[in-house]
Structure 1
């Protein structure tokens, strides 16, 4: 079963050419003032493209 994506993800986990990075919205904590970070779903990580093409 594939992992769910979050609004801050650029692609689904495991997509070739991507990797995990710290969420820029919460700084990797998974939390913002009002609770769980909406961009990473509270994980502190997002999936982003790598390689810079």
Structure 2
């Protein structure tokens, strides 16, 4: 896992919003299960980070 966003702090295809957006948080990528890789290639959903930014529900 690289720990950095694919596009220099921007979003990746699996992100709901840019990092730091209020009401969002990091979650494990559902496609690579947090490894950042699918087979020999970087996961396209998370950009190889193993994390996605998702909206957090509140009640």
**TM-score of the superposed pair, with normalisation by structure 1:** 0.89
Runs of 4+ in 1 over 4 A off after TM superposition: none
Tell me, yes or no, if structure 1 residue 35 matches structure 2 residue 41: yes
Q: What residue ranges of structure 2 are gaps of 5+ in the alignment?
A: 1-7
Cα RMSD between the aligned structures?
A: 1.6
**Correspondence list, 1:5-16, <5 A:** 5-16=11-22
Q: Quote how far apart the aligned CAs of 1:23 are.
A: 0.1
Q: What residue ranges of structure 1 are gaps of 5+ in the alignment?
A: none
**TM-score of the superposed pair, with normalisation by structure 2:** 0.80
Tell me, yes or no, if structure 1 residue 4 matches structure 2 residue 10: yes
Aligned to 1:48: 54
